[in-house]
Amino acid sequence: MAGTYEATSGGYGGDVTVTVTVTDDRIVSIEADAADETPGIGDEAITTLIDRVIQGQTLNVDVVSGATGSSSGFLAALALALEAAGADVDALKEKEAETVEEVETIQSQTTDVIVIGGGGSGLAAAVSAHQNGAKVILVEKMPRLGGNTILSGAAYNAADPGRQESIEMTDLERETVETIIAEEQADELVQSWQATLAEEWEAYKASGATYLFDSPSLHKLQTYNGGDKTADPVLVDQLGDQAYEGIEWMESLGMEFNDYMFTVLGGLWTRAHQPSEPLGTGYINAFSNYFDENADDMQYFLNTKATDLIVEDGKVVGVIVESNGEKVELRASAVVIATGGFAANEEMREEFNENWPSLADIKTTNHTGATGDGIELGQQVNASLVGMSDIQLLPMGDPETGSLSGNIEQGVQDRIFVNSDGLRFVNEGERRDVMTKALFEQEDALMWTIVDQHSYPTGDTRNNFNETIDELVAAGRAYEADTLEELAELIGVDPANLVATVDEFNQAVDGTIEDPFGRTLFDNKIDIAPFYAAARKPTVHHTMGGLQINAAAQVLNEDGEVIEGLFAAGEVTGGIHGTNRLGGNALADIVVYGRIAGANAATSLTAE
């Protein structure tokens, strides 16, 4: 029946109210009140779903990856409203989407720099190119900017003595530095990092300082060693040297970071910076604001997929994009590929996977657009691919969705992992691949993260994904108890085992015993109620392989030669992380190499 109808259902952060206007046979408009959904994530997901439903005249739409709760709540409320209107909701859930003719299509045009991909690295490249004198067009195949960056926990690794001075260094961390200095290295550049680190370390000890030591040299060595020494040392060198400059650059664009620093999962050191805004919204907002302020010279187009590179006389001179079903030619003096990885492309994961059991049934933390498009574009011009089998899994996926939301850890030091027997099974400060492989060996590949009041002083304390612990407990995604025995009963593990496990961990924190798993990262005991637990499973997170680049972020061909006019940045590239990426290095990679790619793409204009 034609008219306007309203209904409400539970979303991720609270109730989602949907108002839908229909004719006798069409959905005309949809409005949603979702004030409690995460800014930049849940609200953007709902906007995306509104577009899909109206354009396709169907409820047969997929939830938006990374915003499952918001998506499900919206779709449930919409179904109730349509049911009140007398619509056949079951039929709408089965109906194939209608093909809708769009009115506006991008016109063929020429600019200085074209950036393919509107996630963090693409936006960084676009802003950097403009700051270096270029006019920019950015194309993004998805209906919103942000990519994986906006869904991320947003931790950014950089040595930062100013912020790290408030952190007390432990004896075990001192031993870690000395072990890294003594480790045998074959590469001359890596050896130079060790020599520099040795000098820095001696100066630090001579000063009598007790705060946490860190430096770009230590960051480089942990990155290189953490990827099994397979990364390109030249790229790692640049990442370590420019990581903190990237923090300063983001701050110059209006982004704010908290003074508090932490150790992110698999980060190996307390050098992760935490943005003041939730998740990755701070990065995307800063870049988007810059676009808005420079709209005369910068444009971006959504729902626009790059399908082919245009090559003339061996040089990339533009891109063919598909806009509303039409092929459009965009030309430029340089092109930057920044399309992200392929963690959401199951077929591609299986093609290149050599190190894991089948990944066919493993969910991913990534957004749905992370399908390897940029790698396929690079292959059109004979680009060299490196490290394609290096696919990173995390042990921290939501059991239902694979996303990182619901993760109750606040940092590595104050939490443990236990299996279905209530027993620890791995060093929780280890590399991500080591932890995930150990988790696969546990029953149902499932574990429980255990924390206490040190992580959540109050019920409204938020995790790194902008969720309060009270919200997670109310939603059944986390469990709370006043004793470890009660917590064990709630999660179905042996109470005696859990109590003994926590007691042993606390003794290791005290230094009374050596940790049985070799863990070196500690802060507080787990000894103050309330105690919390949340279930986690393996999830596909990052693809370290991709297009081979040099220090100028130029893409190389299979003969090791520069492909003129083509640059790349972010997860679409390979060679920076090796076999395993340290937690917190992705955002540093995005910013550092996005800046480099954009600047050099712009500089190439004056070199012609």
Catalytic residues: 432
Helical axes 42-56 vs 68-84, angle rounded to 10°: 40
Task: Could you list the beta-strand ranges (E) of 465-530.
Answer: 479-481
* Side-chain-facing half-sphere of 224: CA atoms under 13 Å: 27
Phi-psi region of 492 (alpha: psi -120 to 50; beta: other; left: phi over 0): left
90 residue type, one letter: D
For the beta carbon of residue 578, count every other beta carbon within 10 angstroms.
25
Strand-pairing partners, residue 171, are none
Rounded CA separation 587/554 (Å): 20
> Which residues, at least 6 apart from 50, have a Cβ–Cβ distance to it below 8 Å?
30, 32
Rounded CA separation 15/9 (Å): 6
154 residue type, one letter: A
Contact yes or no for 362/391 (Cβ under 8 A):
no
484 residue type, one letter: L
3-state helix, strand, coil in the chain (%, to 5): 35, 20, 45
Backbone angles phi, psi at 406, to 5 degrees: 85, 0
Q: Which letter, b or e, does each residue of 366-398 get, where b requires 16 or more Cβ atoms within 10 Å of its Cβ?
A: bbebbbbbbbbbbeebebbbbbbebbbbbbbbb
Three-state DSSP class for residue 67: coil
The two beta strands, 416-418 and 447-451, are antiparallel
Concatenate the DSSP letters of all residues of 595-608 into one string.
Answer: HHHHHHHHHHHHT-
Backbone angles phi, psi at 54, to 5 degrees: -70, -45
Residues in the chain: 608
Contact yes or no for 591/250 (Cβ under 8 A):
yes
Rounded CA separation 114/25 (Å): 42
Burial class for 606, CB neighbours closer than 10 Å (0-12, 13-18, 19+) = exposed
The two beta strands, 326-331 and 109-110, are parallel
